[in-house]
Amino acid sequence: MLKIGEFSRISGVTIITLRHYDQIGLLKPVHTDDSNGYRYYSMRQLPRLNRILALKDLGFTLEQIGPVLRENIAPEQIRGMLRLKQAEIEQRVAEEQSLLGRVEARLRQIESEEYMAGYDVVLKTVDTMTIATTREVVPTIGEMATRCGAMFGALFQYVGQSGLKPSGPPFAIYHCPGYTETDIDTESAVPLPNGSNPAPATVDGIAITPQSLEGGEMAATVHHGPYTGIPNAYAAIGAWIEANGYRIVGPPREIYLVGPHEGEPVTEIQYPVQKA
Amino acid sequence: MLKIGEFSRISGVTIITLRHYDQIGLLKPVHTDDSNGYRYYSMRQLPRLNRILALKDLGFTLEQIGPVLRENIAPEQIRGMLRLKQAEIEQRVAEEQSLLGRVEARLRQIESEEYMAGYDVVLKTVDTMTIATTREVVPTIGEMATRCGAMFGALFQYVGQSGLKPSGPPFAIYHCPGYTETDIDTESAVPLPNGSNPAPATVDGIAITPQSLEGGEMAATVHHGPYTGIPNAYAAIGAWIEANGYRIVGPPREIYLVGPHEGEPVTEIQYPVQKA
DNA sequence: TTGCTCCTCACGTCACGTGAGGTGGC
DNA sequence: TTGCTCCTCACGTCACGTGAGGTGGC
């Protein structure tokens, strides 16, 4: 019979850990003194302790080790548990490596001075939503402001007439691939409460269609300030997507979080992406 | 001004997380209602929130993110932090991969039926210690019991005469490489309290030398039962060492935790090892 | 008035480590 | 008697998630 300190020295396990294993019932001392609470261990408990350490070393939690020690589990089951562990660790390694990739991408970005200061690109999941939308090809960029004004005016009028309330900020979808200054294929949209199902209509000669817009993973960033600076936000997202090994799988969305009439506008840019 | 639910929906961050960031001062709502505690956020806080998310995504803790947001840190410093992170993640990847290696080794062991049931090999660090020792070449294995008896008898007598107490169980070091049944180069030893420094002596014609024994990393397992079964323990350690990519760097030790006169003996085998 | 949203505790997570404060054994 | 060992709480770790129990706003 050994006092906890001796057993600790021989086993190489701290006293605190031994007390912890006692407390959770994983390794009880062979005897505990009733009067002073002293724990007494036996050398014959070393194999059990070593089994605990060996299983812990294979990545099992103490909670998982308990049953393995109690019931005598068939090697077949042990094998199953190890296979599971294996898959779990492989998963974690993959995650760590993707994290490493992100850190390295950021370092390269800083070092190559293509550092898009001020823009932080994040990945977010956007739900599928119901929207009211209208679409037109705007001939030149100079006409964007008036055309967008007209489109959103019609949309809000339509939403009001339908007895609905927008369920979020209005946004645009740009269907032309790449940056263009002419013939900009623009879809303007207002999100509606889920489940609402109004009919199509024409307002002020503008055709409005309610529809469902697919959600998914988005690479997104927020631009704070006048719209003339927005190309920088697009560039920042583009750089992030390339550096982090994603692929653009749809047209970008521009979400007008704070409109131009309420001070400095705040605009979010989203690109639907997939891991490449 | 947005209620927490709206801000949560727009940012894609849970309400609970937003409350947590408020609590630790990472992102305070622009306004908190005094009467009911409602938090109100602004769209203009989205860039800050995104910065938090982006840094978190690079593996920084919330505690590390705080200063980065408050003080405007130079890109030079950011670079330093990223380099540190990078090294840290590489370290973790290496650890996970070694864990994966251990799990795979165990799986192979089970599948190839060379499964040494009952032996759990663990890695432990043994301290350098002061010992009293005597060494001789035992001609045949049949004489081991009597020779060991004689050696330990002399050692204990010596320790007693020196006015010392053994500081741990007695053990043997086997200097012959591989398993042999003849001419076994055996060193018997008794650990002494650290700092004690007795003189060499001869007891019953047996020469006893006090010395220092180097510690280090050991692959160890415990054998429970008669000494005839001990070769299995050696085999188990050998298999473990090979499977886990270690290398034997010294002679094995056999530690007599429970001697043969106290019921079933309990014996620990240790091999000094290094990562190969 | 009824849902819906929001609030504040308090506790749990995983495997211990770190004091604080006190007692038993040689 | 004096160190040394041992004991039992209680709290901290990291970034939230999960109730419990209660209140404000349309």
Token readout for A26 is: 């994983």
Question: What average pLDDT does this structure show over A192-213?
Answer: 90
B133 vs B213: CA distance, rounded Å = 10
Read off the pLDDT of each residue in A50-71 and give the average, rounded to a whole number. 92
Most confident of A68-77, B8-17, B175-184: B8-17
Contacts of B92 in chain A (CB under 8 A): 96
| Phi, then psi, of A74 in degrees rounded to 5 | -70, 145
In this complex, which residue's CA is closest to the C1' atom of nucleotide C16?
A17
Rounded distance in angstroms from the CA atom of residue B167 to the C1' atom of nucleotide C25: 18
Residues 57 to 96 of B: which have CB under 8 A from any A CB?
A: 57-59, 75, 78-79, 82-83, 85-86, 89-90, 92-93, 96
List own/partner pairs for B18-24 with CB under 8 A and 24 or more apart. Answer: B21/B49, B21/B52, B21/B62, B24/B62, B24/B66
The whole-angstrom separation of Cα A70 and Cα B262 is: 27
Average of pLDDT values for A1-8? 95
Q: Average pLDDT, stretch B205-229?
A: 94
Residues 6+ positions from A50 with CB-CB distance below 8 Å: A11, B120, B121, B122, B220, B221, B222
Residue A113 has pLDDT above 70, yes or no: no
CB atoms near residue B213 (< 10 Å): 18
**What is the DSSP code (8-state) at residue B70?**
H
Q: Comparing A175-189, B46-60, B251-265, which segment has the lowest mean pLDDT?
A: A175-189
| pTM of the complete model | 0.88
Q: For residue A62, which nucleotide's C1' is closest to its Cα? A: C15
**Whether pLDDT at B113 is above 70:** no
How high is the pLDDT of residue B114?
62
Do the chains contact at B97 and A102, CB–CB below 8 Å?
no
Decide if pLDDT at B115 tops 80. Answer: no
Distance CA A31, CA A40 (A): 5
How much is the average pLDDT of A120-125?
94
The residue among A149 and A73 whose pLDDT is bigger is A149
Distance of B192 CA from D7 C1′ (whole Å): 28
From B7's Cα to the closest Cα of chain A, the distance in A is 11
pLDDT of A181 reads 85
Q: Which residue has the tokens 């059990």?
A: A48
Inter-residue contact B86 to A107 (CB < 8 Å): yes
Distance CA B54, CA B134 (A): 65
For strand D, the positions having any atom within 7 A of a protein Cβ are 5-8, 14-18, 23-25
CB contact under 8 A, B47 and A118: yes
Taking CA atoms, what residue in B is nearest to A113?
Answer: B75
Chain B interface mutation, best of A58, A106, A111, highest count of B Cβ atoms under 10 Å:
A106
Contacts of B254 (CB under 8 A, 6+ apart): B171, B172, B173, B174, B230, B267, B268, B269
pLDDT given for residue B106 in this prediction: 87
pLDDT greater than 70 at residue A114: no
Portion of chain B with pLDDT greater than 70, in percent: 98
Average pLDDT for A170-183? 88
